[in-house]
């Protein structure tokens, strides 16, 4: 076959997204006669999409030098930029900085006005964003977007407008920022962008949506990314990250076995190339979360350790695992440590919700009221349904523990409605369990039974063994032989019969003395007695101790 014919077929294969065929044809053509700079860029693209990172960088470097030799400054600068970005995304900051500096030097030395100036703003933009300077990042993104618009470069516009949207969301202008993100994703799904930029924008957008609790959008874009990956069966780039995102979405949907499988497949996919250490560690963490919820604690711990080894913070999952294992002190220490070193309100939100659960479990719910207030402020600032559900659930759980059942029901009903609309069955079931307990405290035994049965059935369907065991172990609510006493009132009566004072009972149950006074008054009224001695006699006569 004529070398020129192979080259033409290689170009056609690349245009059709047949990455393996393109790489083979262009490589053969290169062996016969060295490719020119533009065709080397095509070969580099094929290598990237096949996950051949080293080949991508070496080929792109050849293209860079070929452009320089041909006095083609703009494409040489762009190749240097992409080399720097590839290294930066893999955590190789020093060589990345070197390539960015080279690109700047070449560009400034020529004194030209071209779209490459916009690309060279991206490293500074990313640096500002990583440092939490969202105003600064937004300003640079706006400047780069204007350059992209002036030169009609859709790739540049997509890369920087999405960052502009991200900055606005983090500045509390969620509606405005998400509108920009949606605009960029329209260009992605319409096929207006180059394949490398398409994959980058997909992955960046999904990761961002998850980080700011925009899970509906994360779900929609993950489905779109999955379809894009399926259309290119020999593509390796982005497929591992896509599987990690799918695992996270599947867990939320309650498809835990599928989530585990996708997380495992992600790890396998990374071995084929385009390795992303952070995403691989994130996949391990996701496996740990599913194992923990299923009650496979040894497997969960192993996965959390692998995640930590890969550079991913294994919290709050590890703290919740320790709580499930009965080590409340370790759970408190872990969650306190990670919250103490986390400043960003959105990063703190999931950690704070976990600390509320832990503090309630160890009998220190009063310490969690400040955490509830922080969650509520973050939810209000972001306007996120997920954060709203989390804050209402936390508030309701704390109120219930403080014997404020009526107030708790208001918060919990709101949380349940939001989790249900978000199609999050596990979270919804956790809230229904709390609603059932609140109903029981208010002597609504029918309501309690229905809510607890709904929670039990959901846990059974999900395979949430620890939660299922907890619900099944709950005592019956105000049964006839309990003489109308709630579970909490029977608990107080047993302590009264044991000779405890109200102050001692309050300390034992971690409640206020005023709350115990109210419980004792209710007990006296329900069983028809007027003294502690008579209440004690009643308890023994009716087998309530």
Residue 514: give its domain's CATH number: 1.10.10.10
User: How sure is the predictor about 273, in pLDDT bands with cuts at 50, 70 and 90?
Assistant: low
User: Domain containing 475 — which CATH number?
Assistant: 1.25.40.10
Looking at the fold, whether 458 and 524 belong to one and the same domain comes out as: no
Question: Helices 487-497 and 425-441 meet at what angle, rounded to 10?
Answer: 50
Residue 372 lies in a domain: yes
Residue 296 lies in a domain: no
Residue 401 lies in a domain: yes
Q: Please give the structure tokens belonging to residue 482.
A: 């309990």
Buried b (16+ CB within 10 A) or exposed e, 233-250: eebbbbbbbbbbbbbbbb
CA atoms of 177 and 198, how far apart (whole Å):
20
Last residue of a domain, one of 450, 480, 510: 480
pTM recorded for the entire structure? 0.78
Looking at the fold, whether 355 and 473 belong to one and the same domain comes out as: yes
Residue 385 lies in a domain: yes
Looking at the fold, whether 416 and 503 belong to one and the same domain comes out as: no
Looking at residue 480, what is its pLDDT? Answer: 42
Answer yes or no: is pLDDT of 226 > 90: no
Per the structure, the complete domain to which residue 411 belongs is given by 348-480
Answer yes or no: is pLDDT of 143 > 90: yes
Query: Rounded mean pLDDT of 98-115?
Result: 90
Task: Mean pLDDT check: name the lowest of 98-107, 133-142, 221-230.
Answer: 221-230
Residue 232 lies in a domain: no
Looking at the fold, whether 388 and 476 belong to one and the same domain comes out as: yes
Q: How far lies 15's CA from each of 19, 67, 179, 194, 203, in Å?
A: 9, 22, 31, 10, 22
Domain total for the chain? Answer: 2
Higher pLDDT, 384 or 293: 293
Looking at the fold, whether 475 and 488 belong to one and the same domain comes out as: no
Looking at residue 473, what is its pLDDT? Answer: 84
Looking at residue 367, what is its pLDDT? Answer: 86
Looking at the fold, whether 465 and 383 belong to one and the same domain comes out as: yes
Looking at residue 275, what is its pLDDT? Answer: 65
Looking at the fold, whether 399 and 502 belong to one and the same domain comes out as: no
Looking at the fold, whether 436 and 491 belong to one and the same domain comes out as: no
Last residue of a domain, one of 463, 480, 497: 480
Residue 64 lies in a domain: no
Residue 383 lies in a domain: yes
Mean pLDDT of the chain: 91
Query: Rounded mean pLDDT of 56-61?
Result: 96
Query: Rounded mean pLDDT of 66-95?
Result: 94
Looking at the fold, whether 475 and 523 belong to one and the same domain comes out as: no
Query: Rounded mean pLDDT of 145-156?
Result: 96
Answer yes or no: is pLDDT of 365 > 90: no
Looking at the fold, whether 473 and 486 belong to one and the same domain comes out as: no
User: How sure is the predictor about 440, in pLDDT bands with cuts at 50, 70 and 90?
Assistant: very high
Listed in sequence order, the residues at least 6 apart from 271 whose beta carbon sits closer than 8 Å to its beta carbon are none
Looking at the fold, whether 371 and 493 belong to one and the same domain comes out as: no
CB-side neighbour CA atoms (13 Å) of 269: 26
Residue 443 lies in a domain: yes
Last residue of a domain, one of 433, 454, 480: 480
Looking at the fold, whether 379 and 463 belong to one and the same domain comes out as: yes
CA atoms of 136 and 172, how far apart (whole Å):
15
Query: Rounded mean pLDDT of 119-133?
Result: 94
Q: Is the peptide bond before 477 cis (omega within 30 degrees of 0)?
A: no
* pLDDT tens, position by position, 323-356: 999 999 999 999 999 999 999 899 999 999 999 9
């Amino acid at each position: 076959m004529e070398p020129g014919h192979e080259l033409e077929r290689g170009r056609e294969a690349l245009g059709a997204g047949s990455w393996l065929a393109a790489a083979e044809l262009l490589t053969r053509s290169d062996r016969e006669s060295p490719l020119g700079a533009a065709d080397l860029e095509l070969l580099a693209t094929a290598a990237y999409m096949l996950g051949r990172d080293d080949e991508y960088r070496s080929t792109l470097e050849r293209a860079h030098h070929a452009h320089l030799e041909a006095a083609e400054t703009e494409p040489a600068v762009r190749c240097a930029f992409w080399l720097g970005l590839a290294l930066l995304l893999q955590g190789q900051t020093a060589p990345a900085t070197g390539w960015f500096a080279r690109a700047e030097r070449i560009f400034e030395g020529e004194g030209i006005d071209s779209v490459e100036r916009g690309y060279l703003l991206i490293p500074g933009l990313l640096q500002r964003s990583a440092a939490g300077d969202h105003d600064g990042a937004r300003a640079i993104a706006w400047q780069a977007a204007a350059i992209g618009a002036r030169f009609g470069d859709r790739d540049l516009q997509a890369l920087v407008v999405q960052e502009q949207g991200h900055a606005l969301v983090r500045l509390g202008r969620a509606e405005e920022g998400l509108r920009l993100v949606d605009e960029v994703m329209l260009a992605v799904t319409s096929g207006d962008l180059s394949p490398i930029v398409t994959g980058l924008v997909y992955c960046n957008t999904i990761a961002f949506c998850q980080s700011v609790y925009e899970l509906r959008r994360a779900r929609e874009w993950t489905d779109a990314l999955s379809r894009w990956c399926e259309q290119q069966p020999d593509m390796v780039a982005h497929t591992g990250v896509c599987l990690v995102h799918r695992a996270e979405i599947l867990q939320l949907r309650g498809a835990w076995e599928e989530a585990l499988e996708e997380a495992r497949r992600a790890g396998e996919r990374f071995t084929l190339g385009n390795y992303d250490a952070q995403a691989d560690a994130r996949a391990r963490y996701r496996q740990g979360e599913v194992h923990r919820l299923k009650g496979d604690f040894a497997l969960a711990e192993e996965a959390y350790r692998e995640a930590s080894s890969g550079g991913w913070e294994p919290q709050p999952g590890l703290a919740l695992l320790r709580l499930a294992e009965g080590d409340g002190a370790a759970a408190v220490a872990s969650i306190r440590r990670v919250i103490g070193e986390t400043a960003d309100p959105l990063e703190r939100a999931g950690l704070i919700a976990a600390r509320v659960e832990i503090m309630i479990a160890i009998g220190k719910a009063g310490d969690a009221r400040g955490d509830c207030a922080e969650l509520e402020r973050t939810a209000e600032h972001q306007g996120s349904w997920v954060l709203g559900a989390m804050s209402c659930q936390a508030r309701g759980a704390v109120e219930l523990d403080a014997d404020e059942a009526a107030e708790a029901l208001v918060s919990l009903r709101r949380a349940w409605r939001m989790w249900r609309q978000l199609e999050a069955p596990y979270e919804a079931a956790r809230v229904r369990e709390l609603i059932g307990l609140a109903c029981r405290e208010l002597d609504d035994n029918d309501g309690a039974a229905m809510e607890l049965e709904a929670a039990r059935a959901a846990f059974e369907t999900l395979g949430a063994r620890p939660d299922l065991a907890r619900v099944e172990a709950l005592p019956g609510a105000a049964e006839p032989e309990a003489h109308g006493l709630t579970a909490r009132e029977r608990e107080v009566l047993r302590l009264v019969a044991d000779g405890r004072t109200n102050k001692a009972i309050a300390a034992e149950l971690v409640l206020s003395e005023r709350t115990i006074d109210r419980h004792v008054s209710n007990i006296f009224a329900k069983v028809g007695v007027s003294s502690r001695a008579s209440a004690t006699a009643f308890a023994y006569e009716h087998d309530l101790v």
